[in-house]
Structure 1
Amino acid sequence: MYRLLTGFGERSIVVAALVLIVAALVLISMLFGITRGKYHYKVRKETLYFSDLPADFDGFTITQLSDIHAGSLGSKRAVQQGITLANQQRSDLLLFTGDLVNHTAAEMEPWKDVFSQLKAPYGKYAILGNHDYGDYMQWESHAAKAFNLHQLEQVHAEMGFSLLRNKAVQLVKDNARITLIGVENWGKGGFQRYGDLQKATENIADDSFRILMSHDPSHWEEQVLPYRSPVQLTLSGHTHGMQFGIDLGFFKWSPIQYFYKEWAGLYQRHGKYLYVNRGFGFHGLQGRIGIWPEITVLTLKRSES
């Protein structure tokens, strides 16, 4: 082999060595991704500043989970570690931004006891994602499909989550309050548009500080940013970061960015924020390569200006 390589010259040896190193790294990354990577939970923290945040909510913390996809999960021990890690953040509020299952409510049966352990003093709230409606499978009747969605609502309740379906609630802390809004799925490119932001906000004061849960991040640019009343913070999921890419903090890339302008992490426009969670579970690709499952922790801070 050495003689074969030397026959091509010293430069060719260097190039061949580099190719072999890159190939080995790719292979190792793929093997890690389909074995341990899909449960390689990472806590990502951001501090967000708002001039209109009520003073009593200064320092308020939110843990966000998204895209559990229970039908794809396999290792209860690994998932338990993720839930423990989420609880260790000791956030004030816990929010889940959709896609609890792949297709049916029954997928959550083996996992209810694990996800019921999630705790937050100001409550646990959830919305539906595009997979939660059962739209991607054949049902024997409309009644069967409707019953499945009813069962999924019951699962949320059994785990201690309040499901917000085009609805808003008030979160009260000391002498102040903020509004938490949850809309049903609203997507682009053929995804369902069940979300109704106007209905969800019809009884909210115009000067209320608002946090919106909307599964698909494309909703932010299409409807949330131009909405008549400001939504200071939107939380989404859906993209999974395509479960494949490069995510180094200072640099991130994934093929999903050619389909979604906002696909992972924090975005800011005109003083309003969007955070896109990379997902807790996985679907389709039975692993994660470079884009690790995420537990998001957001700290809200009041700025002076």
Structure 2
Amino acid sequence: MSQSGSIIFFSILIIFILFLSWYVFQAIRTVSMGIELIRIQQMIKWSYWAFMLSLLTWLVFKSVQVFSTGEFASSAQTLSSVFLTLIVTQLVIVLVLFGEDIFRNIQAITVFAMNGAKGYSFPSRTVWVSILALTVASVPLFSFVYGIKYGKYNFKVHREVLYFEDLPEAFDGFTITQISDIHSGSLKDHKAVASGVQMVLDQKSDLFVFTGDLVNHRADEIEPLIKEFSKIKAKYGQFSILGNHDYGDYSSWPSPEAKKENFEKLKGQHAKLGFDLLLDENIRIQKDGQSIVIAGVENWGVGFKEKGDLQKSLKGTENGDFKILLSHDPSHWDAQVKNNPNPVHLTLSGHTHGMQFGIETQLVKWSPVQYRYPNWAGLAEEAGRYLYVNRGFGFHAFAGRVGIWPEITVIELKKGKKPAPIHLASAKN
């Protein structure tokens, strides 16, 4: 984003926050009017605005700092977390109050139409609706507080069993553990990270893969955690690729040489972790005289760095080979992979983080990120070609997770057709 674009964006953001703050103030003022002591009423009102204006000042200061350094440091992550929590909480209050405002306007128009201007007064807010708005808003407020404090390390294991008729028989039951988007610069609780790594080890999978974004900006961010992540071992190896953050594009560098040096160091960090970094190349995994191909492409994403070369990553493979592709950005699958004439059976991606915010239940799966990425978390399939999008191990920008928890993926490969679902009626017969 250009400097002028940034100024416009933050000017609009400030105006929007001020508007929300004014709207929420209506509920606070209405509730405080029930307090008999005028002094306490005034104190509540002044305290609210002092708090809001202080936060707004902090936002402006930190925003200038972020764009001047070119890096989203931990203090800026804290800032964004506070404001995201605040804005979502405020929006809930505003929605409830807006519902009441619609009713108040209908009531006012009806009274005016029946009685005219004589003795007319606009209906006042009701205390119980304002109390309801503040009460309902406590749900997202405490959800975000939990997500910032605990949710970002609330690791979950997601399991998928995938069936392929052309899977080499030796690989029937072969397991792969995937993590993505470590974003080591954000991971400050090393004890919590160790528990996540232990969960990876507990899966005892045949193969381990990491699908990009090892750091936020700089190669040295991973150094305090190399000892921990290097514990990850699998019988058939550990393979990794680069993500968009790994190229150093979101940081200011004193010279092109400094940026290049950082990138070379970043690639070396993968070796220190014991990961075989695949840069538009592939490797064959041999088992009992049969093989599958693991290919890794450099970052390729719509709207992000389109550097990866799919054809180069598949060089030397044939249509009959069983192929698994590591590609950081799931938009690559839609744009190039799923219809590639040299078929890729399974693509493993990350990148989206599920936006670290959303709802995932048996009935509802929603996150704002779905309006940018049609395949943003979990499994997708088209014409027998699969994509799995990992929700990310770490976090970035928003220093928390709400409803979309950090993920460790375990995929089991099975030979044959996928069993038909068992219906209750059939089971009874």
Q: Aligned AA for 2:196?
A: G
- Please show how residues 187-226 of structure 1 align to structure 2 within 5 Å: 187-189=301-303, 191-226=304-339
TM-score by length of 2: 0.67
| Alignment correspondent of 1:183 | 297
- 1:85-123: per-residue Cα shift (whole Å, max 9, x none)? 111011110000000000110101101001001111110
Higher strand share: 1
Distance in 2 of aligned mates of 1:247 and 1:256:
13
Instruction: Extract unaligned runs of 5+ from structure 2.
Output: 1-30, 35-125, 419-429
- Please show how residues 11-160 of structure 1 align to structure 2 within 5 Å: 19=133, 22-160=136-274
Distance in 1 of aligned mates of 2:271 and 2:254:
26
Instruction: Extract unaligned runs of 5+ from structure 1.
Output: 5-11
Distance in 1 of aligned mates of 2:393 and 2:137:
28
> 1:140 offset after TM fit, Å?
1.6
1:228 to 310, 335, 341: 341
> 1:223 offset after TM fit, Å?
0.1
- 1:137-173: per-residue Cα shift (whole Å, max 9, x none)? 1212222111111111111101100000000000011
> 1:186 offset after TM fit, Å?
0.3
| Alignment correspondent of 2:40 | none
> 1:21 offset after TM fit, Å?
5.1
Q: Aligned AA for 1:297?
A: V
Query: Which secondary structure state, in structure 1, belongs to the residue aligned with residue 217 of structure 2?
Result: coil
CA contact (8 A) 2:176 2:411 kept: yes
- 1:201-255: per-residue Cα shift (whole Å, max 9, x none)? 1211221000000000000010001211110000000000001111124421010
CA RMSD of aligned residues (A): 1.8
Among all aligned residue pairs of Structure 1 and Structure 2, give the percentage whose two residues are the same amino acid: 55
Query: Which secondary structure state, in structure 2, belongs to the residue aligned with residue 82 of structure 1?
Result: helix
Distance in 2 of aligned mates of 1:157 and 1:184:
16
Runs (4 or more) in structure 1 with deviation over 3 Å come to 12-22
Query: Which secondary structure state, in structure 2, belongs to the residue aligned with residue 147 of structure 1?
Result: helix
Distance in 2 of aligned mates of 1:27 and 1:33:
10
> 1:290 offset after TM fit, Å?
0.9
> 1:296 offset after TM fit, Å?
0.4
- Which moves more between the two structures, 147-156 or 76-85? 147-156
Distance in 2 of aligned mates of 1:13 and 1:141:
60
Distance in 2 of aligned mates of 1:27 and 1:63:
34
CA contact (8 A) 2:318 2:342 kept: no
| Alignment correspondent of 1:302 | 415
| Alignment correspondent of 2:70 | none
Distance in 2 of aligned mates of 1:220 and 1:250:
26
| Alignment correspondent of 2:95 | none
TM-score by length of 1: 0.93
2:351 matches 1:256: no
Distance in 2 of aligned mates of 1:46 and 1:225:
19
Note closer, same or farther for the CA distance 1:250–1:169 as it changes in structure 2 (3 Å cut).
Answer: farther
Distance in 1 of aligned mates of 2:127 and 2:254:
63
- Which moves more between the two structures, 93-102 or 134-143? 134-143
| Alignment correspondent of 1:7 | none
| Alignment correspondent of 2:357 | 244
* Structure exhibiting the larger radius of gyration computed from Cα positions: 2
2:396 matches 1:290: no
Higher helix share: 2
> 1:48 offset after TM fit, Å?
0.5
Q: Aligned AA for 1:276?
A: V
Distance in 2 of aligned mates of 1:282 and 1:156:
19
| Alignment correspondent of 2:102 | none
Note closer, same or farther for the CA distance 1:51–1:250 as it changes in structure 2 (3 Å cut).
Answer: farther
2:385 matches 1:272: yes
